[in-house]
A and B are shown apart, each in its own frame.
Chain A
């Protein structure tokens, strides 16, 4: 590792209406270094990266490449300066080949014609720089590659663009164990080639395996900077930085947990097999596992959106079979999707209309919108008050609310129907840290009132802190059960199927 940093950010500040996303953030990475950027959801990591890649411009501060200040007005400028970002949502064109993707916008030509042979050859050379790239053929369509190979193509694309700095955002989110190992080797190879790698993750074992230095972001500021690799516990403490005891709600006492409200036996479909579990009234049941393990598929099966083909389901003592969300909702199950903007919020509608959506969906079409069998407008306003949804007015369009308040409005939507089971997918995603505690306490209150709560989250500390019991899923089935407050390492072992943690 050479001394001077390839990329440096000094005094960066970025504000959005009503929010300070970044405040006096400084950060540097040298050639051949892997620098881990760590922080909870909402800490400011993605804003920082968007400034680096030219999507946003900073309000204050400067960015320096090789010691020279740069001003990126467009993502193309950042690419030209040698900064490539690999986001979680790949920017590849699925209907084009690997080579076509790598040469997007800068195709090689011979006269007026595209020089496919040259592009394929160069692509082959870049792919061969990595062990994982050798099995990818340049003329394969991206849509025919698995996720790990697509990620490899993204990396190859960055190298082909002579990237000096490569930013990887949660790269292992969708990879299985073998693919993770391959990725770590690729990162080692990148380090060997002299690339500066900024590696964003919240998985401690990856930090331990890969990072040379660690920077922790919290609430838009640099909470800690580690010049050498510290103990994971120190990193976590810097990330969370508060008294854990107040953050999560207390676990349920044995008296608060009643009989099973939902039972599944032998549940299976194209993505799931051998699903057996009970959800008791009054408990919060957490589901852990890596992405692709089947937790969301399970939620969709329980909710009737992507139903089980086989097995039985019992809800409040009755045998049920759901083939459409309406069946599940009518029987008493509610779902809060992880992608609030895409799957839960009707952005142009008011807070009140969003909350009233489900009650209205089950009332007569020609009936007045003001009252129905579940709740009327005043009752809904009272409910929203009780949940402390903060808005200028409940007539305000819901898109103006903060993530936490939006989530509470969606909870109100279900509460009006008095559900027996509530499924939360990524309950605190996109919610700033202060509001998260509110959501955890809300979930506990709902459980205390007699509902069974299922909590699916990729944030393992959150699952451990909030759930009374934790079921671990892997490759479409449930592999282990842990009690509340279990060890993160133990759960990760079950989630990834490893016998021992690789050093």
Chain B
């Protein structure tokens, strides 16, 4: 076998040639252009800021889901957790504005518990994450029904709805800044940093790629996995807070969001059996999905079409990724 002898200098440098840009950014750009062509008002702050505001919940959820996907699993319980958060918050707060902070704390606590249980069941009971989180989904939906007796009472106070609904006005240059977008930037950056700038992210990738090798290299595989589920659940809680503020209370607030989050992550290039994924790309995937739905709305296509389109996108995204993998000989 011939081996090239290279100087040590070049080994530390980046490989030459065009850097690989994730195709999702191109798709997103193309869609934005299409939206602008359809609706020129999009370039105004009221246009794009509202777009970001609407996309923020999914973006945060997708970034959290990415952690579980990279570690090699799926978290199908996030949709029902969103529902539980919204329903539970409205029940607990009972329209009392001062209750918001402790209600949010309780919800974060619930999210933490759900993530822990998901992780423990997968790691120690050896139940595949598909089944474990699907079972959790059913259970959480049941809890949501139980708590609200089938019909959610109460309203969410304005202090709670602040995050999802309020826009900060009179901002220089961009004129309006939705609080949701601020939350997206903060949480998005946090999730990005945790995945791409810390040890946890590298360990997550290793666990998803080759859990046996990770174990023998000394990685605390179970702890890493459980952390991924906790991150996913906590981001679901934040998504729930945003959605509750934006959309109000209902028993199917979160339905289907888990699949949207997985679709967004896959659009961003995440590999389904683990080992590869990027937070910014997942967020871009979420924006892409939202852009597609926005475009469908502009074209006057009804809501059910959205579901069909989403199903097709999900399959197409994965099929394309598999095709590319085969071509590059992985």
User: Is B210 a contact of A345 with CB atoms below 8 Å?
Assistant: yes
A208 located at the interface, meaning its Cβ lies under 8 Å from any Cβ of chain B in the complex: no
Contacts of B1 in A (CB 8 A): 18-19, 402, 432, 434-435
Residue ID in chain A nearest B5 by CB atoms: A390
Residues in B neighbouring A361, C-beta threshold 8 A:
199, 203, 214, 217-220
B245 contacts A by Cβ under 8 Å: no
Please, which residues of chain A bring their CB within 8 A of the CB of B198?
Answer: 365-369
Query: A432 to chain B: which residues have CB within 8 Å?
Result: 1
Q: Using a CB-CB cutoff of 8 Å, which residues 349-377 of chain A contact chain B?
A: 349, 353, 356-358, 360-369, 372
Chain B CB within 8 A of A395 CB: yes
Partner of B216, one of A343, A372, A393: A343
Does B275 touch A at the CB level, under 8 Å? yes
Alpha-carbon separation in the docked complex, A309 to B274 (Å): 35
Most buried by B among A18, A303, A344, A346: A346
* Interface membership of A326, Cβ < 8 A: yes
Which residues in A have their C-beta under 8 angstroms from that of B213?
A: 337, 342-346
* Contact of B126 with A by CB under 8 A: no
Enumerate chain B residues within 8 angstroms of A396, measured Cβ to Cβ: 15
Which of B8, B214, B218 has the most chain A CB within a 10 Å cutoff? B218
A348-B219 in contact (CB<8A): no
Task: Convert A318-362 into 0s and 1s, putting 1 for each residue whose CB lies closer than 8 angstroms to a CB of B.
Answer: 000000011001100001010000111111110001001110111
A337 lies within 8 A of B194 (CB): no
Kindly state whether residue B28 has any CB partner on chain A within 8 Å.
no
Residue pair B216, A362 in contact (C-beta under 8 Å): no
A368 touches B3 (CB 8 A): no
Known interface pairs A346-B209, A402-B1; A329-B197 also in contact (CB < 8 Å): no
A445 within 8 A of B: no
Question: Across the interface, which residues of B come within 8 angstroms of A356, CB to CB?
Answer: 202
Whether B215 is near chain A, meaning CB under 8 Å from some CB there, is yes
CA distance A422 to B6 in the complex (A): 29
| Assembled-state Cα–Cα distance A360/B206 (Å) | 11
Q: In the complex, what distance in Å separates the CA atom of A402 from the CA atom of B4? A: 11
Chain A residue, CB-CB nearest to B206: A346
A393 close to B11 (CB less than 8 A) = yes
| Chain A neighbourhood of B327, CB < 8 A | none
Are A348 and B220 touching (Cβ within 8 A)?
no
Contacts of A363 in B (CB 8 A): 199
Report if A385-B8 is in contact (Cβ < 8 Å); known contacts: A305-B216, A369-B199, A369-B202.
Answer: yes
Contacts of A372 in B (CB 8 A): 199
Contact with B along A377-402 (1 / 0, CB 8 A): 00001001100001111111000001
With beta carbons under 8 angstroms apart, the residue of A346, A368, A393 that contacts B197 is A368
Enumerate A408-449 residues with CB–CB distance to B below 8 Å.
Answer: 413, 432, 434-435
Option from A357, A362, A394 in Cβ contact (under 8 Å) with B11? A394
Interface size class on chain B is 35 or more
| Chain A residues in 8 Å Cβ range of B2 | 18
The residue on B at minimum CB distance from A337 is B216
* CA A329 to CA B271, docked complex, whole Å: 30
**Contacting residue for A346 out of B6, B11, B214, B218, CB 8 A:** B214
B199 near A367 (CB under 8 angstroms)? yes
Give the complex CA separation of A330 and B219 in angstroms. 11
Q: Is the CB of A365 within 8 A of B216?
A: no
CB closest residue in chain B, given A413: B217
Q: Do residues B199 and A353 form an inter-chain contact, with CB atoms below 8 A? A: no
Q: In the complex, which residue of chain A has the Cβ closest to the Cβ of B193?
A: A366
- Are B216 and A369 closer than 8 Å at their CB atoms? no
**Knowing A372-B199, A391-B11 touch, does A357 contact B219 (C-beta < 8 A)?**
yes
Q: Inside 8 A of A344's CB, which chain B residues have their CB?
A: 213, 216-217
**Residue picked from A305, A349, A432, most chain B C-beta under 10 Å:** A349
- The listed residue with most A CB atoms (<10 A of its CB), out of B14, B199, B206, is B199
Knowing A362-B218, A390-B4, A393-B10 touch, does A346 contact B210 (C-beta < 8 A)?
yes
Mark B1-43 against chain A: 1 for CB-CB distance below 8 A, else 0. 1111110101111110000000000000000000000000000
| A221 to B: closest C-beta gap in Å | 14
Residues of B within 8 A of A342 (CB): 210, 212-213
C-alpha spacing A360/B279, complex, angstroms:
20
Q: Given A381-B12, A393-B13, A347 and B217 touching (CB < 8 A)?
A: no
Least CB distance from B84 to A in Å reads 27
Q: How far is the CA of A356 from the CA of B203 in the complex (A)?
A: 10
* Cα A344 to Cα B227 with chains together (Å): 23
For A402, give the chain B residue with the smallest CB separation. B1
B218 — which chain A residues lie within 8 A by C-beta?
325-326, 329-330, 357-358, 361-362
CA separation between A311 and B84, bound complex, in Å?
A: 53
**Chain A: interface residue count, which band?**
35 or more
Chain A-chain B contacts (Cβ-Cβ < 8 Å), number: 129
Q: Is the CB of B202 within 8 A of A365?
A: no
Closest residue on chain A to residue B4 by CB atoms = A390
Contact assessment for A385 and B202 in the assembled complex, using a CB-CB cutoff below 8 Å:
no
When distances are taken between beta carbons in the complex, the residues of chain A under 8 Å from B10 are 393
Which B residues lie within 8 Å of A123 (CB)?
Answer: none
Give B63-90 interface residues, CB cut-off 8 Å to A: none
Q: How far is the CA of A342 from the CA of B215 in the complex (A)?
A: 12
Interface string of A8-27 (1 = CB under 8 A from B): 00000000001100000000
In the complex, B201 has a CB within 8 A of chain A: yes
CA distance A414 to B87 in the complex (A): 51
Q: Is A348's CB under 8 angstroms from B200's CB?
A: no
Contact of B199 among A305, A360, A384 (CB under 8 A): A360
Whether B165 is near chain A, meaning CB under 8 Å from some CB there, is no
Cβ of B205 within 8 Å of any chain A Cβ, yes or no, is yes
B153 interface residue, CB < 8 Å from A?
no
Q: Which chain B positions have C-beta within 8 A of A368?
A: 197-199
Is B306 engaged at the interface, CB distance under 8 Å to the other chain? no
- Please tell me if the beta carbons of B199 and A393 are within 8 angstroms of each other in the complex: no
Contacts of B6 in A (CB 8 A): 390-392
1/0 contact string of B179-211 vs chain A (CB within 8 Å): 000000000000000100111111101100110
Contact of A392 among B15, B202, B224 (CB under 8 A): B15
CA distance A218 to B14 in the complex (A): 37
Report whether B14 and A395 are in contact in the complex, using a CB–CB cutoff of 8 Å: yes
| Residues of A165-198 whose CB lies within 8 A of B | none
Which residues of chain A are near B8, meaning CB under 8 Å? 381, 385
Shortest C-beta distance, A175 to chain B (Å), equals: 27
Q: From residue B121, how far is it (CB to closest CB) to chain A in Å?
A: 20
Most B-side CB within 10 Å, residue of A347, A361, A363, A391: A361
What is the bound-complex CA distance between A365 and B198, given in angstroms? Answer: 7
Instruction: Please tell me if A405 contacts chain B, counting CB pairs below 8 Å.
Output: yes
B195 CB, min distance to chain A CBs, angstroms: 10
CA distance A361 to B14 in the complex (A): 25
B200: which of A325, A366, A393 is its contact (CB, 8 Å)?
A366
Q: Which residue of B lies closest to A403 (CB)?
A: B1
**Interface contacts beyond A358-B218, A366-B194, A369-B202: sample of 15 additional A-B pairs, CB < 8 Å, sorted by A:** A325-B215, A346-B213, A347-B210, A353-B205, A357-B206, A361-B214, A361-B218, A365-B200, A366-B199, A368-B197, A385-B11, A390-B5, A393-B13, A394-B12, A402-B3
Q: Which 6 A-B pairs have the closest CB atoms?
A: A365-B200, A329-B218, A361-B219, A360-B199, A361-B218, A385-B8
B residues lining the A interface (CB < 8 Å) = 1-6, 8, 10-15, 194, 197-203, 205-206, 209-210, 212-220, 224, 227, 271, 275-276, 330
22 residue pairs of the A-B complex, CB under 8 angstroms, read A18-B1, A326-B218, A326-B220, A329-B218, A330-B218, A342-B212, A342-B213, A343-B213, A346-B206, A348-B271, A348-B275, A349-B205, A353-B206, A360-B199, A372-B199, A381-B11, A384-B11, A393-B13, A395-B14, A395-B15, A402-B3, A405-B3
